[in-house]
A and B are shown apart, each in its own frame.
Chain A
Amino acid sequence: MKRIDAISMIARKAEEKNSLIVANIGYPSRELNDLKDRPGNFYMLGSMGLSSSIGLGLSLAVPERHVIAIDGDGSVLMNMGSLATIAHQNPENYLLVIIDNGTYGSTGDQPTATSLGTDLGAVAKGAGIDEVHTVDNEEDLEKMLKEVDRGVLVVRVDPGNASVPVICLSPEEIIERFMAESARPSE
């Protein structure tokens, strides 16, 4: 499975549940933007490592909305304390999807610790998150996305980025339309 296939399935779930999405810096945001741009997508442009934290803050602020953060293995490794904070806040409306391709995909596929033995699902469990699942194929991902709305979902994919353009929205446009969308009540 490629990352863009996983993101496509996550975007479909987000549409069905009217979820807000926080998308990680670099190719994950670009792939989501190319697949399915919507006001409820927040595209990070910097601040590597903080997708899971931004998603947590958002989920605590809007408990009536469902929130999905799409993060990467390299980014989660940079901010592993986030998993402990998510565990003790334990919001019911928050799903952190870690797309693990074992590399720093936006900078030339240098290996991350997950390709050298680190198991982020086990780390999330060890941090105290009770609902943690790991999948490595489309069928299992589809099933998990139907069943699971909170906790951590680790999705193992192959390295490599899709050929997608850079995001043409300005930071101001991204946040303005996102905040207008997050202020709307859930349908």
Chain B
Amino acid sequence: MDPSTSVFNGMRFAGIDLVVSVPCVNLKDILPMIDNDPNIIHVPVTREEEGVGICAGAYMGGKVPAMLMQNSGLGNSINALASLNKLFHIPLVLIMSHRGIEGETICAQVPMGQLTPSLLDSLDIPYVVPTIDNVEDAIIHAWNIAADKGRPVAVLLEIGFWEAE
């Protein structure tokens, strides 16, 4: 199975039914899959922090929310993840394309890429780094932990993830 289909299946099996997205070149094949699924509401957003707010509102209305994003957007979301999700114990799955690590060709991606794991640690956001073989289970697990603990959980999809077949 190709990486994009595996991520999409993981989202479906996790019961995710509202997705906000800020695109990344690595996520581009997943977005049409979401658009074509009548059971998932897709909300493209202008900035990741906005997406955190939409997902929080959706969760309060009974949805299982996820945000598809690049790791650069973590920096745009930190206050909301702390003063909204952490404060009110609101779960969220952050499905994050992790740029700026091994295999990166764009130098501007490197600073945030290197900071991403430690920023997640600082925010007390657990994360998993799946391979294509376990990404479906990883996303299901991420939502279960998020819902159980009332907090965001991240799924970091590294550059090498997208090269697997």
Give the B-binding residues of A (Cβ under 8 A).
Answer: 22, 42, 44-62, 65, 79, 81-82, 84-85, 88-89, 171-172, 174-175, 178-179, 182-183
Smallest CB separation, A84 vs chain B (Å): 6
Cα separation A82 to B47 with both chains bound (whole Å)? 9
Cα separation A8 to B132 with both chains bound (whole Å)? 54
Binds A, one of B4-12, B49-57, B112-120, B121-129: B49-57
Number of residues on chain B facing chain A (CB within 8 A):
32
Cα separation A45 to B56 with both chains bound (whole Å)? 14
Cα separation A76 to B1 with both chains bound (whole Å)? 43
* Chain A residues in 8 Å Cβ range of B63: 57, 60-61
Smallest CB separation, A97 vs chain B (Å): 16
Q: Contacting A179 at CB < 8 Å: which of B18, B43, B55, B60?
A: B60
Smallest CB separation, A108 vs chain B (Å): 20
Q: Contacting B84 at CB < 8 Å: which of A47, A56, A84?
A: A47
At the interface, yes or no: B45 with Cβ under 8 Å from chain A?
yes
26 contacts between A and B (CB under 8 A): A42-B60, A45-B83, A45-B88, A47-B79, A47-B83, A48-B79, A54-B54, A57-B61, A58-B58, A60-B43, A60-B58, A61-B58, A61-B60, A61-B63, A62-B61, A79-B50, A81-B45, A82-B46, A82-B53, A85-B43, A172-B88, A172-B89, A175-B60, A175-B88, A175-B90, A183-B62
* Chain A residues in 8 Å Cβ range of B82: 46
At the interface, yes or no: B41 with Cβ under 8 Å from chain A?
yes
A171 touching B45, Cβ below 8 Å: no
At the interface, yes or no: B164 with Cβ under 8 Å from chain A?
no
A85 touching B79, Cβ below 8 Å: no
Residue among A52, A54, A82, A183 with most chain B CB within 10 A? A54
Give the A-binding residues of B (Cβ under 8 A).
Answer: 18, 41, 43-47, 49-63, 65, 79-80, 82-84, 87-90
* Chain A residues in 8 Å Cβ range of B46: 81-82, 84-85
A47 touching B61, Cβ below 8 Å: no
10 closest Cβ contacts across the A-B interface?
A46-B83, A61-B61, A57-B57, A81-B46, A53-B53, A50-B53, A57-B54, A58-B57, A57-B58, A54-B57
